[in-house]
């Protein structure tokens, strides 16, 4: 694992989010758990260790580099899957209070194991659909920051994510180069749901020619109570 560790440490430095020894140990343990569980359940399509480090770990850390996520924040990761970007961010910001949401039970069971093995505190893995959770007291307008990667198209994703945020909070959407088109399509949804485009950050993934973006949307007013609509509706009839 020495090569993997070096790749992680150097890559994290390059992104601007240095990892200490203890954090590097936690990433390596997480990598081992992903490898083991990927043989049992469909956790992630990427199985090569170097690729997991670059395309999952370092890519997740770009959210930390934006400056919009801070230690001590109450945060929610919507559609976290195998824990991205939530778990890498929690390793970097141990004081973060984190909710991990996914609609697939087996991924939540994996995350329970990760939380226990990495001895992470204040992390709640939840088997739920974002649309259902976003209407519930204790979750609705309860978070300073929400992040989400590779879950859905931006208009729909905003309906999943913006209801979780308090006014003044930030939604970080990790996107590829097609983000401009998505942003155009999502303009009305962002406005109706109480958001405003605040910032766009660009990151080159170390050791690759991949460029990814973090779209930062600020919650500037409360989300109308009719949103999020019932499960499936945002996808079928996105706000336009
Ligand atoms: N964010 C992770 C990543 O970047 O590797 C996982 C991405 S995976 C392509 C999409 C995940 O979103 C799946 O695990 C899926 O179960 C979850 N998902 C999709 N729609 C959802 C919803 N409405 N509520 C909660 N989770 C959802």
Of the candidates 142, 151, 158, 157, the residue with the CA atom closest to the CA atom of residue 73: 142
Judge if the beta carbon of residue 41 lies within 6 A of ligand 1. no
The domain total for the chain is: 1
Ligand 1 site-directed mutation target among 63, 103, 128, most atoms within 8 Å of CB? 103
CATH number at residue 221: 3.40.50.150
- Inform me whether the pLDDT recorded for 1 exceeds 80: no
As given in the structure block, the two tokens for residue 46 are: 């990427």
Give the residue, by CA position, lying nearest to ligand 1 atom 24.
129
157-186 pLDDT, tens digit each: 999 999 999 999 999 999 999 999 999 999
Judge if the beta carbon of residue 86 lies within 6 A of ligand 1. no
pLDDT mean across residues, the chain: 96
- Inform me whether the pLDDT recorded for 2 exceeds 90: no
Alpha helices in 69-153 (DSSP H): 86-92, 105-117, 130-133
Judge if the beta carbon of residue 130 lies within 6 A of ligand 1. yes
Strand partners, 97: 74
* Domain encompassing residue 72: 2-236
99-116 pLDDT, tens digit each: 999 999 999 999 999 999
As given in the structure block, the two tokens for residue 21 are: 């020894």
Tokens 């979750």, residue?
A: 139
- Inform me whether the pLDDT recorded for 130 exceeds 80: yes
Percent of the chain with pLDDT over 70: 100
Judge if the beta carbon of residue 220 lies within 6 A of ligand 1. no
- Expressed in angstroms and rounded, the spacing between residue 102 Cα and the centre of ligand 1 is 6
Percent of the chain with pLDDT over 90: 96
How far from chain centre, in Å, is Cα 16?
Answer: 18
CA distance 43 to 238: 28
């Amino acid at each position: 694992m020495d090569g993997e560790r070096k790749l992680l440490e150097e890559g994290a430095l390059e992104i601007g989010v240095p990892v200490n020894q203890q954090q590097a140990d936690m990433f390596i343990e997480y990598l081992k758990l992903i490898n083991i569980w990927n043989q049992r359940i469909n956790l992630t399509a990427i199985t090569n260790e170097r690729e997991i480090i670059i395309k999952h770990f370092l890519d997740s850390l770009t959210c930390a580099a934006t400056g919009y996520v801070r230690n001590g924040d109450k945060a929610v990761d919507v559609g976290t899957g195998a824990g991205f970007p939530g778990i890498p961010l929690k390793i970097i910001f141990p004081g973060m209070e984190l909710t991990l949401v996914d609609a697939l039970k087996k991924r939540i069971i994996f995350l329970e194991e990760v939380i226990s093995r990495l001895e992470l505190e204040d992390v709640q893995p939840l088997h739920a659909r974002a649309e259902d959770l976003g209407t519930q007291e204790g979750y609705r307008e309860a978070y300073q920051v929400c992040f989400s990667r590779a879950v859905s198209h931006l208009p729909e994703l905003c309906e999943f994510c913006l209801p979780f945020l308090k006014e003044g909070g930030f939604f970080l959407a990790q996107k590829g180069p097609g983000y401009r088109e998505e942003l155009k399509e999502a303009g009305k949804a962002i406005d109706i749901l109480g958001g405003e485009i605040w910032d766009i950050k660009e990151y080159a993934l170390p050791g690759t020619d991949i460029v990814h973006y973090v779209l930062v949307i600020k919650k500037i007013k409360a989300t109308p109570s009719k949103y999020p609509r019932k499960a499936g509706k945002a996808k079928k009839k996105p706000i336009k």
